Structures are given as C-alpha cells and as structure tokens.
Structure 1
Amino acid sequence: MADFQLDPALPRDRYTVPTISEDFYDYMKSIEKTEPEIMSTLLPILRTKPDSGIQIVNTKFTNYATWRKDQIKRDVRTLDKQYSVLQYDEDHDTVWAVIAAKLFSVVRHRRDRIFTNYSAQYILDFAPLPPGKARRKHQRTCCKPRTVAAGLRYGLKNNLPREQDWKYAGCRDIRKPRGLSLYPMAGDVIQSKDLRIVSTALQKTPVAARLHIFEPDVDRVGNGIYRGPKYFDSKYEGQRDVLLYATEIVNGELVGVVNFPYKKLGELHVSLDVMLVQTPREDDIDEPNEELENPTYLLTNLCFLLQP
C-alpha cells in the first residue's frame, strides 16, 4: 500500500518513520520486558499495525503521532439529506438532544410518508441531570450537558411530541407541557468505539459520534479533509458531538461527511482512516489528555438507534 501523506504544513516540525516491518515488530516484542517505558508509548501504536508511515506532528503544546489504518469497510454511503438537517444553539450545550431527536425522527420515518421531526426541545427541557448532579437555582434547561445516548434513553422511556408541537427554543426557562400529544419512540440504543459498524449502520440511519477537535485545524480546513493536527499552533480542544450521515472515497481515503454544529461550520469532511495518539516530550508541562492517551480515530463514541 502506498505511504499515507498528511497535508504538508510546516515541514520543519514533522518527520516520517518508514512503514513498519514484521522484523521491527519482532524486535519490539523482544525488548517488551526490558524497556517498559518505551513499550508503554510505542506498543499501543504498533498493535494497530499501521498501513502507512507514522508521522510526528510537533506543536508548541505537545507532540502527536498520526498514521493511517484502513479497518473500515470501504463503501460509499449516502442517506436522505433531510436526515442530516440539525438546528442548534451555538452558544449552549444543546447538540446532544438535537441529534437524539433526529435519530428518533429517522427511525420512525417511512419512505412513503412525510418526514416528521420529533422534539429536541422536549428532551432538553425534561431529561434529568446526570446522576449526582444537582440543579442550581434558576438553572436553565440547556445547562445540563448530557450524551446523545442519554437523550435516546430518555425518549424511549418517556416518548416525545412532534417538533411542531414543542418547538425548538434552545436555552430557556423550564416550562410545563399542557395538553401535549406524545408519540411512542422505539429502537435499541447502540454504542461503540468501533468504526467498523459505520458502513452497516449508514445503510439506514445516521450515526452520532464525538469528534476530536484541534484548532485552528477545523477553522482552516474549508472544503478539504480534516485529519487532526497538522500545524505548529495546533491545540487540542476536546470533543464535540457530530452527526455522521455519508461516506466518500477520495483518492483511496475513506472520508466521513458530518454535520458539524460548531462555529457554524456546518458540513465537515473527516478522515475515517487517520489514527492518532499524543506522545510525550521533555518540555511537556501538562498531563496528557486522557482522550488521547491511547490510539484513536478522529471519530469515537459512536451511537445510533437500531430500528425495531
């Protein structure tokens, strides 16, 4: 397989390790017991069996190793465009509920009927806080960050109104429903970190995921492919909820198309082949980010509804 090349940017801050041979794997196994510190960093990478050279991206904050691992079925998937339309409040944490409501809407949709959106606002207003979290006085409905899976489980247990009957308002004071029709939600909540389920799931439903965010990379990618950190000033900003609704193959690279409700960027093309991990260096001040301590794809924590 041809060596994988990331977008060239600041070449002085990176180098490429040649594709790893079987002899090198055997050598690493032989020193596993004598050099535990080396192995703790390298072995998780080596276990992925990279399909390309490993590139080291040196930033002013820390280092990252990136490489290509083609483990996902290489299919092109395209869902109905209305399955990916989301409304959201950029200034507040509402995306988890918006995506959960959209997944319910997709599961209930029948091809011969008009598409009906179910209420994300109802989930925002009434889904409980995480266990052990107490609501502060005058806390508004959006001020309770949850997961898409939590929103799905709430809808399955309590049913939901249609969007037209309980309209999206974003962050607001709590209101009590009166004379509201609720519709039964159905499906099995599936959660996984294995991207191999994407191709199968995308035959019927979008897939919620958490995307590793590096800035300014997401700001500068434009119509290109987001592959994580590539600049000297790249900085990890944590994860954001996204909705994956299509896949493409671009020059042999599998790319996911996601609705990216962050900074009003809308659609984002994300590599589904790139893996990365944070690697230590002597001048590191902060502890490694827990989310990047082990090799990971850019999309993780997948969640979708399996149709009943």
Structure 2
Amino acid sequence: MAERLLQSFKRVAGKCHPDCVKANNEIEDYDASQSAALVAVNLISSARLVLKLDTEFTEYSAQFLIDNAGKEDEPGEMDQQRCQVTDENILRYLAENVWSKKVHGQGEVDRQRCQLTVKDCLELAFKKGLPRREHWAHLGCTSKVPPFACQIPRVPVKGEVIEGKTLEEGFKLLEHQPVGAKLHLFSPQIDRVGEGIYDGFGSGETRYVGLRDVIIVAVEKFEGDTVAVVKICYKKKTSYIKVSLTRMSLSLPHNGDDSQAIGPTGLLVDFCVPRLSIN
C-alpha cells in the first residue's frame, strides 16, 4: 500500500490543483518561507553530493519543511493509528479534502505558519529528516497534509548549521560546499543585470526591494571585478547572476520611508551552510 502511495505521488509531481494555482498567482513575487525552504533543501542536496551520501544531485521536498514548521516536537507521529496507509484512510482523506472541494485559502495557510528562515529550515530537517521532492506535495500546495503522509520514507539528515557574518567567513565556508546567503536587492538594477554584473544601488531612480535568500556557488573574476556566482529566485524565476564583491551599498530614507534605508554594507550578508555528519 505504501509503495502504491509513493507511485501515485510520483505521477502527480509538479501538478497543481486549481486552488493551488490561484493561491500561487496571488503571490506577486516573493514568499519568504518558500524561498528559505528552497535554499535549505538545495544546500542539503549539494552537501550530500559533496560527501557522496547521494550518488547524484537529489532534490528533497521544500514543502515538507513548510508543512512541518512548528511541529518539531510533536510526539509519536509514526505511531498514530490514523497515520497508517490503508484504503479506508485514503478514502476518508479524499472525501474530506478533495471530493468536498474544501478550499484552503492562502490567507488561512499563511496565518497557520510562521515566517521561516534558512536556518529554521535546516534545523527542522535535522530533526525530521526529508522526503524526496516527488514523494511530497509541490511547493506552495494549499491542501491539508494527509495524516498517513508521516509514513512516507524520509532521508535522515544529521548535522549543524554553521554561520558566518563577514565576507571572509563566507569565502571560508565556500571552500567545502555552496553557501546560503542574503542579497540586498535594488530595482531596476536587478531586473537589468542579464549577463553583466549586479552591483546594487545605482544612479537615477532606484528602489530598495529588500533582502532575498540566495545560494553562492562560486567566486570568480569577471571584467576586472571579483564576483560571486549566485543562484536566485526572483519574480518566480530561478537564474544565476554575477554579484560584485567589491561594491558597498548605501540607501537613504526616501520621503520619510525608513524601509529604504540600509548600509553601508556589502551586497551579500548572513552566510550559512549545513555541516552534515556522515555517522
């Protein structure tokens, strides 16, 4: 029965219920928890590949982390009778949550969970383990998690979060694996970067967008500048950009809006990695 359930998840991986599509469309650009969860599972996948714990880059479920936020200490989840994968429990779940067309609005989902950071997600993965991406609901799914989902196999993840505050500390972490960080975003500079170098605050009309979770995959020289090659999800699109490591950013309040004031600071801040244990 459990194997049949896993096969069914694989067949529908990446497919959305109309309610999920509607909720996703209502998010204009950025969901901090989704971004943090995506970065966390990417860092874990990379670390496991570096340590040869996986033979290839394996995607794990970011949605699992979002669904389990705030539930780290719930006891006995694997022992509950209703968690068993049976025809009766599957039918009950379908009747209560699918056939009834019960709508779980995005606003309701947002109220039920706190805003997650990459560190939160990594620490949750250390406590709960992670299922593969194709064995869990897609990222942004608004459907209620079935009680028998706790029977889905998870890969145990053991380790600790290592953090760095300075660019030098971030470089040190990058010697071993890709590094999570936050990037100061300015518009329209980020929208126009293309194959060039993103160097933050520019001349003319500039708006500070905020900090975004990113992954640093390499440091290199480009057009005479030292840059970090960064993986970023911005406006629902994932891309790689080159970020200047020599430019400092400074933004002053605009029309009394203190949210536009930052710096002086480097463009990349708050570095972290999962340091996994192989034991």
Instruction: State the aligned residue count.
Output: 210
Which of 237, 251, 257 is residue 278 of structure 1 equivalent to? Answer: 251
TM-score (norm 2): 0.67
Where structure 2 has 5 or more consecutive residues not aligned to the other structure, the ranges are 1-23, 72-105
Shift, 1:203, TM fit: 2.5
Indicate the residue corresponding to 2:138 in structure 1: 168
1:151 and 2:121 correspond: yes
Shift, 1:186, TM fit: 1.8
Indicate the residue corresponding to 1:107 in structure 2: 47
Which of 235, 247, 269 is residue 242 of structure 2 equivalent to? Answer: 269
Distance 1:167 1:247, change over 3 A: farther
More helix by share: 2
Where structure 1 has 5 or more consecutive residues not aligned to the other structure, the ranges are 1-88, 130-135
Indicate the residue corresponding to 2:84 in structure 1: none
Q: Letter of the aligned partner of 2:67 in structure 1?
A: D
Shift, 1:147, TM fit: 0.7
1:236 and 2:208 correspond: yes
Contact 2:126 2:158 in 1 (8 A): yes
Q: Letter of the aligned partner of 1:240 in structure 2?
A: R
Q: Letter of the aligned partner of 2:269 in structure 1?
A: T
Q: Letter of the aligned partner of 2:217 in structure 1?
A: Y
Identity of aligned residues (%): 34
Contact 1:119 1:163 in 2 (8 A): yes
Indicate the residue corresponding to 2:62 in structure 1: 120
Shift, 1:232, TM fit: 1.0
Distance 1:142 1:160, change over 3 A: farther
Q: Letter of the aligned partner of 2:58 in structure 1?
A: T
Distance 1:243 1:299, change over 3 A: same
Rounded Cα–Cα distance in structure 2 between residues aligned with 1:142 and 1:197: 36
1:184-210 CA-partner distances (Å, limit 9, x unpaired):
112220222211123322232211111
Distance 1:225 1:138, change over 3 A: same
Q: Letter of the aligned partner of 1:243 in structure 2?
A: I
Contact 2:201 2:251 in 1 (8 A): no
Rounded Cα–Cα distance in structure 2 between residues aligned with 1:190 and 1:127: 21
Which of 103, 108, 111 is residue 138 of structure 1 equivalent to? Answer: 108
TM-score (norm 1): 0.61
Q: Letter of the aligned partner of 1:122 in structure 2?
A: F
Which of 281, 295, 301 is residue 264 of structure 2 equivalent to? Answer: 295
Contact 1:141 1:171 in 2 (8 A): no
RMSD in angstroms over aligned alpha carbons? Answer: 2.7
1:257 and 2:232 correspond: no
Contact 1:216 1:235 in 2 (8 A): yes
Q: 207-216 or 259-268: which moved more?
A: 259-268
1:256-306 CA-partner distances (Å, limit 9, x unpaired):
1111100226111110111122357xxx531544861x4210011112112
Q: Show the 5 A alignment for 1:21-170.
A: 91=27, 93=31, 94-109=34-49, 110-111=51-52, 113-128=55-70, 138-139=108-109, 144-170=114-140
1:118 alignment partner, SS class: coil
Q: Letter of the aligned partner of 2:187 in structure 1?
A: E
Rounded Cα–Cα distance in structure 2 between residues aligned with 1:148 and 1:162: 18
Contact 1:214 1:235 in 2 (8 A): yes
1:60-98 CA-partner distances (Å, limit 9, x unpaired):
xxxxxxxxxxxxxxxxxxxxxxxxxxxxx7935111101
Which of 178, 187, 193 is residue 159 of structure 2 equivalent to? Answer: 187
